[in-house]
């Protein structure tokens, strides 16, 4: 009994040290500020800091809030943004006789941010995806590009990808080895077995094919760009709708891969947020179930409890009972099991219903 209590206390202590969501989500880089130099450097720095805080807060809220929730935020009276910030760092600073320029990194306090949203009944989304392998296929003048050095579509997508976003993407290197292992035509022909093998080689489980086709329209004398995206997961292909359509089309005077890549990366971030959407935060109802963990593997349990607590927060994950063989937690959440499993994929875990009771679940390898 004494050993069991000591084991529980160690687990509980580690559980208390966790944060509510991945820290990287709450870090905003590259807050560039430009001001006219009025001669007082200290005042300039203070003004630049406040401007950077405002800009970072807009970037963060756009990342984790839906447009409807952003509108709620905009109706609030003055927000003391500085109270929501953990720390900040001036990455770069240039001062001339005329201008002041700085680049400030801002780290928000995840607990304070989520408490602020909760107190104002604003729904946020902070569930981070597992890494999706990206296959940026480009077709121009009847030539297909994927792993070639001159695949500008690959470069543009990678440049626009925000590594601190909710959707995590993995870009395999452009090299001859990958060209031999999986080709652009195999991607477009949806060759399942070949893609599964390529995923295994890269230690990934899901892929997103992003296909850009450019052609010159002689009638309008413009370049027509057509983008489509497909998800490969669980041994099948599925169309990813872009702006509620199967394809995104644009016409321009010249090739416009840079702008289109920004549009598509933003839309994929929205696609991920929609996958984890639907919790009705206006409702008082919550989904309740119990999670059973066996006590024999202390290290594994600590990691699992940290991860569950990151997703649910301290209020949604509470100790229910424990003994020498198992620990049972009570879970209260507005996310359903499918959404929780999406969030757990990044840790190679999934919730499965126990044979003992309908509302009792266990964690299995994903």
Same domain? For 270 and 289 the reply is: no
Higher pLDDT, 333 or 16: 333
Query: Domain range holding 322?
Result: 280-365
Domain end residue (candidates: 119, 141, 162): 119
Same domain? For 292 and 358 the reply is: yes
Measured over the CA atoms of residue 151, residue 157, residue 158 and residue 159, the dihedral's sign is positive
Domain end residue (candidates: 275, 292, 313): 275
How many structural domains are present in the chain? 3
pLDDT of residue 250: 93
Q: What is the CATH number of the domain that holds 312?
A: 3.30.1360
Q: Is residue 161 part of a domain?
A: yes
pLDDT tens profile 12-42: 433 333 333 355 789 998 899 999 998 888 9
Q: Is residue 169 part of a domain?
A: yes
Distance, CA of 340 to CA of 336 (rounded, Å): 6
Ranges of H-type helices in the chain? 2-16, 41-64, 67-74, 110-119, 152-160, 176-181, 184-188, 192-201, 257-275, 298-312, 337-344
Same domain? For 271 and 284 the reply is: no
Q: Is residue 4 part of a domain?
A: no
Q: Is residue 7 part of a domain?
A: no
Q: How many CB atoms lie within 10 A of CB 244?
A: 5
Mean pLDDT value across the chain: 86
pLDDT of residue 315: 64
pLDDT tens profile 44-97: 999 999 999 999 999 999 888 877 888 999 999 889 999 999 999 999 999 998
Q: What percent of the chain has pLDDT over 70?
A: 90
Q: Is residue 2 part of a domain?
A: no
Q: Is residue 256 part of a domain?
A: yes
Over residues 181-208, mean pLDDT: 97
Q: Is residue 16 part of a domain?
A: no
Which residues, in sequence order, are bridge partners of residue 88? 106
Same domain? For 71 and 137 the reply is: no
Q: Is the pLDDT of residue 139 over 80?
A: yes
pLDDT of residue 277: 64
Higher pLDDT, 3 or 20: 3
Higher pLDDT, 40 or 135: 135
Two tokens, residue 213: 């086709």
pLDDT tens profile 231-273: 999 899 999 999 989 999 999 998 899 999 999 999 999 899 8
Same domain? For 259 and 334 the reply is: no
User: What confidence tier does 208 reach under pLDDT thresholds 50, 70, 90?
Assistant: very high
Same domain? For 288 and 269 the reply is: no
């Amino acid at each position: 009994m004494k050993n069991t209590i000591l084991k529980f206390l160690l687990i509980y202590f580690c559980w208390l040290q966790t944060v509510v969501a991945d820290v990287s989500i709450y870090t905003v880089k590259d807050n560039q500020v430009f001001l006219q130099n009025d001669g007082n450097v200290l005042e300039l720095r203070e003004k630049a800091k406040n401007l950077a805080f405002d800009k970072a807060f807009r970037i963060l809220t756009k990342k984790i809030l839906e447009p409807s929730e952003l509108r709620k935020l905009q109706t609030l009276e003055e927000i003391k943004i500085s109270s929501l910030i953990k720390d900040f760092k001036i990455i770069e600073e240039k001062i001339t006789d005329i201008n002041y320029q700085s680049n400030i990194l801002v780290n928000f306090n995840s607990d304070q941010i989520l408490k602020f949203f909760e107190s104002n009944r604003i729904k946020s989304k902070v569930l981070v995806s597992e890494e999706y392998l990206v296959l940026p296929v480009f077709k121009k003048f009847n030539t297909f590009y994927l792993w070639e050095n001159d695949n500008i579509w690959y470069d543009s997508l990678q440049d626009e990808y925000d590594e601190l976003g909710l959707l995590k993407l993995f870009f395999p290197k452009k090299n001859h080895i990958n060209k031999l292992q999986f080709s652009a035509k195999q991607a477009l022909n949806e060759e399942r077995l070949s893609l599964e093998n390529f995923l295994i080689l890269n230690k990934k489980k899901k892929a997103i094919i992003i296909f850009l086709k450019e052609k010159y329209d002689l009638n309008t004398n413009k370049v027509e760009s057509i983008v489509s995206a497909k998800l490969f997961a669980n041994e099948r292909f599925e169309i990813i709708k872009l702006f509620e359509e199967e394809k995104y089309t644009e016409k321009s005077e010249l090739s416009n891969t840079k702008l289109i890549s920004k549009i598509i990366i933003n839309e994929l971030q929205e696609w991920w947020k929609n996958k984890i959407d639907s919790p009705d935060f206006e409702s008082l109802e919550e989904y309740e179930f119990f999670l059973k963990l066996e006590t024999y593997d202390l290290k594994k349990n600590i990691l699992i409890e940290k991860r569950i607590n990151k997703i649910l927060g301290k209020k949604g994950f509470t100790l229910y009972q424990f003994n020498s063989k198992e620990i049972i937690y009570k879970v209260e959440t507005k996310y359903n099991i499918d959404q929780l499993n999406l969030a757990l994929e990044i840790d190679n875990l999934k919730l499965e219903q126990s044979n003992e009771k309908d509302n009792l679940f266990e964690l299995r390898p994903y």
